[in-house]
Amino acid sequence: MSADPISLPLRHHHIRAILRSPAHYLAVRRGQAFDDPTQSMERGSGLHAMLSGVPVLTWEEGRPRRGKDYDAFVGANPGALVLAASDYALATAMHAAVMADPVAGPLLRRPGKSETSILWDEDGIACRTTPDLVLDDGMTIVEVKTTRNADPVAFLRSARRDYGYHTQAAWHARGLRRTTTAYGGVGVYVVAIESVAPHVTTTIRVSPGMLAVADDELEHGLDLIRACRVSDEYPGYTPAPVLWAPDDGDMVVT
């Protein structure tokens, strides 16, 4: 029996994990490694829910979000996202700001499908992705990201280095190309909105060149997954000792 639960469709965060190490990938696939939802993630989910038309409701500030009263409230509002009053107010402010932005607003108002999963196969590997929005032209994907800093230089630096937004964009595009006739013509936009007032927004179009670079990284990740599945081995960073040299902190595997 394979150590990798192969019946679970492969998602972008799995690729991100394998590019760190096979050991990280296996832990994520088995549900042994995950981050607890943070307040900033919850605020982001509030904005995403408002953009996609999901009902968003408030819960009195300071009241425990557990117990009979809370369970009854959630049960009476199936499908709704429940936020603390302060988080609701912040999500509402971000929503108003992004929709008022002269670039992002018209883009997000275009007809499309929100949070719709795309399923496809990569040479026997079941894959899945869920873009924030796929426009009805069938060729345009829009991702919305909340951030502390939407300055283009700062955001793009962290977007690639820290969050892998470039490979996420390419993963979305890959799925759309595999399941539609939009091969080679998929466009991806990233709308970055600051989570602090005045909620300045920057809209970024991911270039074909960046998508191609990111697609190469995805292919490398898929190759690693195939190799690990064949060997059924999922090692960490390196099996050899690492030499810490004095020159600029360079490290050499010995």
- Give the DSSP per-residue string, 60-80: -TTS-S-SHHHHHHHHTSTT-
pTM above 0.75, yes or no: yes
Say how many C-beta atoms besides its own lie within 10 A of residue 21's C-beta.
16
Q: Are 107 and 99 in contact (CB under 8 A)?
A: no
Average per-residue pLDDT for the chain: 88
Determine phi and psi for 199, rounding to 5 degrees. 60, 50
- Environment class of residue 254 by beta-carbon count within 10 Å: exposed (0-12), middle (13-18) or buried (19+)? exposed
Distance, CA of 101 to CA of 107 (rounded, Å): 10
pLDDT interval class at 248 (50, 70, 90)? low
Which letter, b or e, does each residue of 49-84 get, where b requires 16 or more Cβ atoms within 10 Å of its Cβ? bbbeeeebeebeeeeeeeeeeeeebeeeeeeebbbb
For the chain, domains (ranges, CATH) are 12-36+101-234 (3.90.320.10)
- Digit-coded pLDDT (tens) for 140-161: 999 999 999 999 999 999 999 9
Residue linked to tokens 């009854």 = 72
Average pLDDT over residues 27-41: 65
